[in-house]
Structure 1
Amino acid sequence: MFKIKPFKNTIITFTVAGILFINPIIGQAELGDQVLKKGMRHDDVKILQQHLIDLNYLTIKETTTYYGDQTVNAVMEFQSSQGLDVDGTFGQASFKALQVLLELEPLVYNRTLKEGMEGEDVQALQERLKFLGFLDIDNCTTYFGSQTRQALVDFQKTYGLKVDGIAGAETIETLNNNKRKLKPSANRGSSRNSSLGENIVSTAKKYIGTPYSYGTSSSKSFDCSGFTHYIYKKHDISVPRSSADQAGVGSEVSKKDLQTGDLVIFSNTYKSGPSHAGIYIGNGNFIHASSAGGGVMISNLNSGYYSNHFTFGRRVF
C-alpha cells in the first residue's frame, strides 16, 4: 500500500546526564486516515494537493495546508474521472482510487509495439489502455490485435500524437505521463460498426461448403478456429489462431446480446475448455467450419448440441 509519512504525532524522549528531556515533534498523519473537506487546514492537504498537481488535476503555484475551492474543484474532477461520487470531499473511496494511480508501474520502452506482436509488454500496454478507458476488454492478453491498435489510435488522437496505432517511444512516454481516466466516448470500447459486422458475415457466407480439415486455415479448407481467424483477418481484425486463445480476446457478450459479426465460443466439445468457434450471423444462427458437418455451414445456437456447449460471444471489433 502506498503510504506517505506514516507517522503520527510523536513524543520523543531522551536523557542527558540524568536529566529527562521531552521533545514534541508534530508529524503528519498518514494521508487517507481521515476525511478531508472544504475549509479544513491540515498538513495532509498539502500532500493531497501535490498528488493532484502531479496528475494534472490541480494547477497552483504552491501547495498549502488549506482545503479551499481550488482543491475542492480538483478533487471533484478527479472523482468524476474515476467514476466516484462527486462531492469534492476526499474520503476513503477517493483515497483508494488515488492509491491505484500512484502505484501504476511505468511502461518500459524496449521495442516498438504494433499489431500482430506478442509479449508481456503488450499485456502491460493493454492494461494501461484499459485503465485509461481506451480499451474495453475483460481480460488483457499478450497478443496485439486490432482492438489494441484501435485503442492506441484513439489515445493518440486524444493526446495529439502521430496517429498510427503503433506504440513507439513517444506514445509510451505519453501513456506514462497521463494517468487520468477518460470517460468512454461513443466511438470507443463496446461501440461498433454494424455495417462491418454485416460485411464480415457476407464474406463468411462465400465459403459455405468449403471442406473441413483440422489444422488448416486457407480458402480451400478450414478447421473451426482457422475459419474465424481467416475471415476476421480479411477485415483487418486480428484474433489468435486457436479457439482456446480466441476465447480470451475482445469483450464477453451474452447470448441475448450477440450482434452480427460477433465471435461465438463453445466449450467441452471434443476436449475440455473452449474448443469450437464460429461467427454470429443473426437470428440465432452462426456460421462455422464443422467437423461433423464436413465443412463450412450455418447452424442454430439454440439447437440441442450447440445450446448445451455455448459458452459466450466475444466482441472483437
Structure 2
Amino acid sequence: MKKKVIIIIIAAFLIIIFAIFGYQQSNDNNSFGKAKVPAAVQRWRPLVSEIANKYGVGNYTEVLLAIICQESGGGDGTNDIMQSSESEGLSPNAIQDPQESLNVGIKYFKSIVDYANKKKCDFATIIQSYNFGQGYVDYVASHGGKSTKELVVAFASAHGGSYGDKSYYDHVMRYVDVTSTGGASGSSQSPLSNYDSLIKTAEQFQGQPYVFGGDSPSTGFDCSGLTQWVYGQNGIKLPRTAQEQYDSTSKVAPGDVKPGDLVFFTATYQCGDYITHVGIYVGNNTMYQSGGHGIGYTSLNNSFWQQHLAGYGRVRN
C-alpha cells in the first residue's frame, strides 16, 4: 500500500512538471531559428523561457539565448549575463545576480520590441538596438524602417565612431540556426501560394457584423476568429487570439509585406495584451478585417489604424 502511494505521488509530481514546462514550451513559438549555444548558456533556458513568457516575448527565447551567449562570453564571462546594468543606469557589471540580469535584460528587450514594432522597424533593428539603445530604433525608422550596415555605421559615427558594437546583429545571429524557419526576419519566407483562395474564403462574410468572441460562420467573427477560420480553411493553422497570432508569425518589415501577411495593431481597446487587433493584408495599404464597422476592406491610411499599427507577420504555408 505504501509503495502504491509513493508511485501515485511521483506520477502527480511528473504531471505537474510536464504541465509547467509544457506550457512554457507551447508559448515559445520559434519564429527566429534555434539557438546553438554552449551548455553554460543552455542551462538558463527554463528561466529565460519563464521570464520571456512573463513579458510577452516567449517567441524570442532562442534569440535571447543567443544574446546571453554574446553578452556573457559563452556563459562563463560574467554574472551580469545579459549586461543589463547599463539599461538600469548602472555601471557595467553592477548587477551580480544572473537571475536579476535575466529579468532586467529581458524586460529591456521587451521594451525595444514594442518600440520597434510601434515604429515599424525590422527584426535586425531590434537586435542591434539591444546594444545601441532605443535611439537606433528612431534612427532606422527615419530611414525606411530596415536596419542596414550603412545605417549602423552612420549611427555609430554620429555618436563618436567607437559607439557600441557595429556588428552586434551578426555577432548575436551567429548563435542562431535560422535554416529551419526560413530566416530570422521572416522576409525571406515565401508569401502565401494560395492567397487567391484565402481571400475568396474571407469575402463570403463581407458585410456581416463584428461579433466579439465569434470564431465560426455559425457564431459570426471577431478579428482573430475570422483570421483563424479563414486561414484554417486554407490549410494553415493559427492560434486563437490576435496576440497569439502575432507571437506565432515571423515579423515582416513594412517594405516586405505581401498579400496574405497579417497586420497587427495595439491599444485599439483596453485589455491585458499588447496586440489587440489583427487583419489580413491584401496589398495597396489595405486590409480585410472584422472590425467595429463589420467585416470587409479597410484602408490602412486611416489615421486610427496608423496610430495603432504594431507591425506585420508572415504565416507559414
* TM-score (norm. length: structure 1): 0.43
Relative contact order, higher structure (CA 8 A, sep 6+):
2
Q: Hey, which of these two has a bigger chunk of helix by percent?
A: 2
* TM-score (norm. length: structure 2): 0.43
Instruction: Give the structure with higher Rg (CA).
Output: 1
